[in-house]
């Protein structure tokens, strides 16, 4: 990783090294080119911090470029993100900040984020949450998401929320038997939910969310969209609250 950063940063390091007069390096003789390389090498050996400064500058530029690209992606696909018509909506539906979460029930960081998001919603009280099922960690992830989406379509939003909480707290292998036990423990009709799992409606919802994730270049979970910005990866409560305050500001 460090080598990949150093290579492009070397050009920046040359610019930061010693002020040199503009020249066409292709017109140098072999001896002049060798002398130039030796002088640059000597300078960098004496001032290695120049390379680190160049790497930091390049990383900052890359982060800024990624942030702008994410802004553009959210703007281009805002209707699909915030108004798809099928994703579960919680928190305060009239909240002034909308938080969208792409999640996978087999994702350890999603499980950690679940409690952080719940704390955020409870503490703030003015945040709308949209949950998008994005199973990417294998067959068990897909099985869990199909069961969750089927629960929402069969039983409703409140029941989906109960199952969502249960799945996030569940740490065993996701099997049909385990899912049925979770549903029955919540008083849900496991037979009706299982019958719905393979339906076109469930398949379409998961497929449309996956297609949206591809458009947004989302490759991992959890990924959040907050207002106009994408937050890629797990964030603790304090950082999420800081983002909320920044968006309101």
pLDDT (0 to 100) of residue 63: 63
Tens digits of per-residue pLDDT, 14-66? 555 444 455 566 777 888 888 888 888 888 878 878 677 767 777 666 666 66
Phi and psi angles of residue 131, each rounded to the nearest 5 degrees, phi first = -105, 130
**Nearest CA-CA partner of 58 in 17, 22, 4:** 4
- Alpha-carbon span 139 to 150, nearest angstrom: 16
pLDDT at 114 over 90: yes
The contacts of residue 94 (CB under 8 Å, 6+ apart) are 128
- What is the rounded average pLDDT for all residues in the chain? 88
Pairing status of strand 127-133 against strand 97-103: parallel
pLDDT in the model for residue 20: 46
Q: What is the mean pLDDT of residues 154-168?
A: 98
> What band does 3 get if pLDDT is binned at 50, 70 and 90?
very low
Runs of H (alpha helix) within 29-134: 30-46, 49-76, 78-82, 108-124
pTM of this prediction? 0.76
Q: What percent of the chain has pLDDT over 70?
A: 86
**Which string of b and e fits 52-87 if b means at least 16 CB within 10 Å?**
eebbeebeeeeeeeeeeebeebbeeeeebbbeeeeb
User: How large is the average pLDDT for residues 130-152?
Assistant: 98
Output the CA–CA distances (angstroms, integers) from residue 232 to 53, 147, 165, 215, 217, in the order listed. Answer: 26, 26, 22, 15, 10
| Six-digit token string for 13 | 């390091």
């Amino acid at each position: 990783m460090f080598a990949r950063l150093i290579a492009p940063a070397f050009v920046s390091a040359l610019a930061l090294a010693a002020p040199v007069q503009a020249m066409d390096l292709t017109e140098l003789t072999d001896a002049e080119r060798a002398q130039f390389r030796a002088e640059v090498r000597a300078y960098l050996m004496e001032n290695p911090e120049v390379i680190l400064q160049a790497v930091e500058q390049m990383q900052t530029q890359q982060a800024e470029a990624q942030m702008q690209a994410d802004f553009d992606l959210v703007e281009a696909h805002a209707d699909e993100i915030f108004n798809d018509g099928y994703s579960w909506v919680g928190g305060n539906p009239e909240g002034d900040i909308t938080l969208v979460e792409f999640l996978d029930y087999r994702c350890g960081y999603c499980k950690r984020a679940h409690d952080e998001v719940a704390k955020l919603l409870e503490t703030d009280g003015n945040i709308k949450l949209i949950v998008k099922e994005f199973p990417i960690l294998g067959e068990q992830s897909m099985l869990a998401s199909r069961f969750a989406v089927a629960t929402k379509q069969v039983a409703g939003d409140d029941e989906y929320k109960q199952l969502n909480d249960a799945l996030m707290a569940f740490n065993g292998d996701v099997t049909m038997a385990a899912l049925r036990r979770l549903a029955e423990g919540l008083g849900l009709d496991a037979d009706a939910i299982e019958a719905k799992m393979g339906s076109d409606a469930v398949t379409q919802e998961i497929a449309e969310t996956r297609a949206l994730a591809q458009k947004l270049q989302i490759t991992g979970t959890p990924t959040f969209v907050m207002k106009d910005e994408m937050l890629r990866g797990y964030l603790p409560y304090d950082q999420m609250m800081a983002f909320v305050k920044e968006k309101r500001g």
